[in-house]
Amino acid sequence: MVAVSRELVLEQNVKEAPLGFRLRRRLEEYAHLARLDRPVGTWLLLWPALWALWIAGAGRPQQRVLIIFVLGVCVMRAAGCVINDFADRDIDPHVRRTRDRPLAARRVSPLEALAVFAVLIAAAVYLVTRLDLLTIKLAAIGAALTVSYPFVKRVFPMPQLYLGISFGGWSVPMAFAAQSGQLPRVAWTLYIAAAIWAAVYDTMYAMVDREDDLKIGVKSSAILFADLDRLLIGVMQIMTLLALVLVGHSMHFGRWYEGGVAAAALLFVYQQWLIRKREPAGCLRAFLNNQYVGMVIFIGILLQYLYAR
């Protein structure tokens, strides 16, 4: 009763606060809804786009295309978070990690969330229409896949893989199309690497919520894999590395790139150590560590073009 009374008093104080204060509070809630306060997810999506832009541009991506992709990834990641929370607004209150999200805590209404989503999608459309027709067509496919993800994950037993296919790696073929106007075999090899890698880190993320997801019937690869989770994550990590090795072979990359892939392999080993006990805190740390996997691969590509050619 005391806690409820405090919430009511706080709500009343907010309603009576000056307009500027109330507007700032709404904008803060919208920022939390779009995960602007948690940039790790943006980096995880941005690294594959940067890999692709540098390879497609032979180490010198067009500045205009680079800016559009960086902004586009940020906007689409935010839009994806909003539509995901909208779809999960009645599930998130039952999960410890997500119960304080703006929609789950009822600090933002579903109508407000849809309005924020519409604004973000409009911004994404504006950005992509600055590019060529092939990239626009690929962006339309990517947008459909991204919007469908929160709903497909209700029926698909391995939604983390669908996330990789739809969201985690689709910027790769788009980047090749925008930069070179073509979709060579190496683009699809890199896409496969990015998609499987997304399944790796999102499965680690799902391991954090496994107990809550089991109680409420949410599907995830962490639940599907059961006690084979570490083994199957390791298999996917190896598949990611093999795809990256094939990319290097196709591009005739040398030691700088190989060093980046080797550093990524060491980080994967560290992640296996973090999830060894399947504790939520360790699994979350392993998930967060993946931002450095993307970074070391990009550094390898960057140094390859700077010093080996």
Written as one string, the DSSP assignment of the chain is -HHHHHHHHHHHHHHHS-HHHHHHHHHHHHHHHTTTT-THHHHHHHHHHHHHHHHHTTT---HHHHHHHHHHHHHHHHHHHHHHHHHTTTTGGGSTTTTTSTTTTTSS-HHHHHHHHHHHHHHHHHHHTTS-HHHHHHHHHHHHHHHHHHHHTTT-S-HHHHHIIIIISTHHHHHHHHHHS---HHHHHHHHHHHHHHHHHHHHHHHHTHHHHHHHT---HHHHHGGGHHHHHHHHHHHHHHHHHHHHHHHT--HHHHHHHHHHHHHHHHHHHHTTT--HHHHHHHHHHHHHHHHHHHHHHHHHHHH--
* DSSP string of 8-61, one letter each residue: HHHHHHHHHS-HHHHHHHHHHHHHHHTTTT-THHHHHHHHHHHHHHHHHTTT--
As for how many domains the chain has, the answer is 1
Domain span at residue 267? 34-307
Decide if pLDDT at 3 tops 70.
Answer: no
Burial-class residue 240 by CB neighbours within 10 Å (0-12, 13-18, 19+): buried
| CATH code for the domain in which residue 208 is found | 1.10.357.140
Residue 21 lies in a domain: no
Residue 47 lies in a domain: yes
Residue 18 lies in a domain: no
pLDDT band at 146 (very low <50, low <70, confident <90, very high): confident
How many whole angstroms from its chain centre is CA 120?
A: 16
Query: How crowded is residue 104: how many other Cβ atoms within 10 Å of its Cβ?
Result: 19
Query: How crowded is residue 295: how many other Cβ atoms within 10 Å of its Cβ?
Result: 17
How many whole angstroms from its chain centre is CA 145?
A: 13
Q: How far apart are CA 212 and CA 234, in angstroms?
A: 24
pLDDT band at 32 (very low <50, low <70, confident <90, very high): confident
Decide if pLDDT at 14 tops 70.
Answer: no
How confident is the model at residue 138, as a pLDDT? 93
Helices 171-180/63-87 angle, 10° precision: 160
Decide if pLDDT at 228 tops 90.
Answer: yes
Q: Which of 272, 290, 297, 299 is nearest to 42 (CA)?
A: 290
Residue 11 lies in a domain: no
More confident residue, 193 or 38: 193
More confident residue, 24 or 297: 297
Looking up tokens 């990319």 gives 247
Cα atoms in the Cβ-side hemisphere of radius 13 Å centred on 149 = 26
pLDDT band at 2 (very low <50, low <70, confident <90, very high): very low
Q: Which pTM was predicted?
A: 0.88
How confident is the model at residue 309, as a pLDDT? 59
Tell me, what amino acid is at 104? Answer: A
How confident is the model at residue 195, as a pLDDT? 95
Decide if pLDDT at 7 tops 60.
Answer: no
pLDDT band at 4 (very low <50, low <70, confident <90, very high): very low
Q: How far apart are CA 44 and CA 39, in angstroms?
A: 9
How confident is the model at residue 13, as a pLDDT? 52
pLDDT band at 17 (very low <50, low <70, confident <90, very high): low
Tokens coding 29:
């809630």
Residue 8 lies in a domain: no
Residue 166 lies in a domain: yes
